Amino acid sequence: MRQPLKIIQWATGNIGGRSLRAVIEHPGLALVGVWVSSAEKVGRDAAALCGLEAATGIVSTNSASELIAQDADCVLYMRQGTDIDELCQLLASGKNVVTTRGDFHHPPFMDEEARNKIEQACREGDASIYSTGSSPGFVTEALAIPLLSLSRRLDCLTIDEFADVGSRNSPQLLFEVMGFGKPMSAFNQAAADFVKQDFAASLAQIAEASGIHIDRWEAHGEYSPASETVNIAAGTIEKGNIAAQRITISGISADRVRFRFRANWYASDRIENGDWDLRESGWRICVDGDTPLDVMISFPVAPADYAAFTPGLTAHRAVNAVPALCAAPAGIRTTADLPQVVGQFA
């Protein structure tokens, strides 16, 4: 019988906490360490950090050096922000790293100095690193690859992500942070460019694997006003004020869009831009080419359960990727060069 892979969970926030729970419950993984960022979490049993009752005997620490010295096969790296020097120490110590940070989806998109440091650390430790998650990750890479395998001509791959936030009773988030309910205005280009960083890198990986050269990546954001006054859980959106927003990331080759990702967030679907074709929360993947496809993935979850449901979309993909990454050659690995990630349930 194969020995369980030894795992360190790095950070226990919204995604990290769900990952920690999945590691503890996974039949092929063994938790050996937990890093936490806050002093309040130091010294607690891992089970208490993820809502489990049975103690694991693994106590959390905020000492990176302690865990770098710890014997482990893989680190699930889910902290806020990416610490390149910290990652280099982990890799150089011989630990593989699966991360939900988006910095490593496509090495050519990385800062050259950071890439060189990471690759050197991978060589020193004979270790590998892999960025994944739900989006970007699963929907932009792991799902796109098999869908494109049915085609011999690709005109355009379009991925729409839909998030209906109308049931969220969070006025501060929706009205102040996200801008719903405010008068129409120009979209903040910096916000669109921020989304472009990770999604363009992820799609560029698939474009390269498909042999399609992309000349440039563009980001465009836009709002749509409410077509009538609507009441949502967080309050009221007056007619003509912002009810939906969309960010489009486009990969352009010879002045044609070949890859497209659209993030559609809406507090109401009663909007003036009827051509947005808003769907229920989930993903829609359209392949335009000689084998056209239109695939819709929705989440059959009650609105009240979304907060508990959504972290697993990102965390579980990372946890399930651990065995494949541990078996991979050293270096910055991508979905295109790893085998299919398969969940292990027994």
Single-letter amino acid code for the residue at 255 = D
- Residue appearing with tokens 């541990």: 326
- Report which secondary-structure segment, H or E, holds 192: helix 189-210
Looking at the structure of the chain, the number of domains it has is 2
Q: Are residues 179 and 110 in the same domain?
A: no
Q: How far apart are the first and last CA of the chain?
A: 13
pLDDT of residue 230: 97
- The pair of structure tokens assigned to 225 is 């006003």
Q: Which CATH number covers residue 123?
A: 3.40.50.720
Nearest to 206 by CA among 255, 128, 154: 154
Nearest to 261 by CA among 292, 242, 245, 283: 283
Determine the structural domain holding residue 41 and report its residue range: 5-134+310-333
Q: Are residues 167 and 55 in the same domain?
A: no
Q: Are residues 126 and 155 in the same domain?
A: no
Question: Do 173 and 166 contact (CB within 8 A), yes or no?
Answer: no
pLDDT of residue 274: 87
- The pair of structure tokens assigned to 81 is 């922000």
Strands 230-232 and 5-10: unpaired
Question: Listing from the earlier edge strand, what are the strands of the sheet with 96-99?
Answer: 29-35, 5-10, 74-77, 96-99, 128-131, 331-333
pLDDT of residue 137: 97
**pLDDT, tens digit (0-9, with 9 covering 90-100), for 205-243:** 999 999 999 999 999 999 999 999 999 999 999 999 999
pLDDT of residue 37: 95
Q: Are residues 84 and 127 in the same domain?
A: yes
Q: Are residues 286 and 321 in the same domain?
A: no
pLDDT of residue 303: 82
- The pair of structure tokens assigned to 257 is 């869009």
Phi, psi of 36 (to 5 degrees): -125, 150
Residue 295 in any domain: the answer is no
pTM assigned to the model: 0.94
pLDDT of residue 88: 99
Residue 296 in any domain: the answer is no
Q: Are residues 84 and 130 in the same domain?
A: yes
Residue 304 in any domain: the answer is no
Q: Are residues 195 and 317 in the same domain?
A: no
Low-confidence ranges of the chain (pLDDT < 50): none
